């Protein structure tokens, strides 16, 4: 999403012909909501250092989130198939939880840093009005994504803590009780209350 920084319309002029979007990978100009022109940044070396760092953090976050999802899937499948091995359950769930937490932090850093710089520049009197920007939709998506990743990581880590404290398996196998049928051969009749 290129809507990290969106042009701010502060002047009293209601008619606005262009809206500028600035993202991590490209800039876009929307002309009256009809025509949209986007251009990728020409040179990686010409980018400002914070933008390069934010790009790297987001790429690492994407790769780490894929690893976290794979570990979570393996952990859930491993939990389902081996109910007796708590250590195997704990390792996969803990690894997925830590990976989700790290991914959330990696997403939160560039999004919050960009949001802070936008707000700081917006209220700075030295910044010219045409260069002032507002928070774009990509920042809100980033904050929600970071919150969901951190919540998922906390859930997986708490699951690991809960499984590690129990002396037996986290998912013990249920005892197989058979309902006793009344003995028609003259044996004693067992009531259902004896099983409760």
Instruction: Identify the residue whose tokens are 């100009």.
Output: 29
* pLDDT tens profile 63-83: 999 999 998 888 877 765 445
In this structure, the chain runs to a length of 196
From 180, 115, 168, select the one nearest 141 (Cα to Cα): 115
Instruction: Identify the residue whose tokens are 């058979």.
Output: 178
User: What pLDDT does residue 161 have?
Assistant: 72
CA atoms within 13 A of residue 19's CA, in its CB half-sphere: 17
- Domain boundary assignment for the chain: 49-165
| pTM for the model | 0.70
> What token pair was written down for 137?
């939709």
* pLDDT tens profile 52-63: 888 889 999 999
- Residue 43's SS3 state is coil
User: What pLDDT does residue 129 have?
Assistant: 75
C-alpha torsion sign, points 41, 28, 106, 48: positive
> What token pair was written down for 186?
């003259």
User: What pLDDT does residue 171 have?
Assistant: 44
Order of strands, sheet of 18-22, starting from the edge strand that comes earlier in the sequence: 35-40, 26-31, 18-22, 5-7, 133-135
Q: What is the CATH number of domain 49-165?
A: 1.20.140.150
User: Residue 35 pairs with which residues in a beta bridge?
Assistant: 31
Residues 172 and 178 sit within 8 Å (Cβ to Cβ): no
User: What pLDDT does residue 11 have?
Assistant: 61
From 10, 48, 45, 4, select the one nearest 24 (Cα to Cα): 4
E strands of 8-144, at which residues? 18-22, 26-31, 35-40, 133-135
User: What pLDDT does residue 122 have?
Assistant: 83
| Low pLDDT (below 70) residues in the chain | 9-16, 33, 79-90, 163-196
Instruction: Identify the residue whose tokens are 């790769």.
Output: 63
């Amino acid at each position: 999403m290129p809507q990290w920084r969106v042009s701010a319309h502060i002047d009293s002029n209601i008619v606005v012909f262009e809206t500028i979007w600035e993202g991590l990978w490209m800039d876009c100009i929307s002309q009256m909501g009809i025509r949209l022109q986007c251009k990728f940044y020409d040179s990686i070396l010409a980018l400002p250092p914070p933008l390069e760092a934010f790009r790297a953090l987001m790429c690492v976050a994407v790769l780490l989130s894929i690893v976290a999802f794979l570990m979570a899937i393996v952990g859930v499948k491993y939990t389902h198939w081996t109910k007796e091995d708590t250590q195997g359950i704990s390792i996969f769930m803990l690894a997925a939880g830590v990976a989700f937490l790290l991914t959330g932090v990696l997403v939160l850093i560039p999004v919050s840093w960009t949001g802070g710089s936008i707000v700081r520049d917006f209220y700075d009197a030295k910044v010219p009005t045409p260069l002032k920007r507002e928070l774009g939709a990509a920042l809100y998506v980033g904050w929600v994504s970071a919150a969901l990743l951190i919540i998922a990581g906390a859930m997986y880590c708490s699951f690991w803590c809960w499984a590690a404290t129990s002396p037996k398996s986290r998912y013990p196998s249920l005892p197989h009780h058979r309902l006793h049928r009344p003995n028609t051969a003259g044996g004693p009749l067992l009531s259902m209350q004896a099983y409760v």
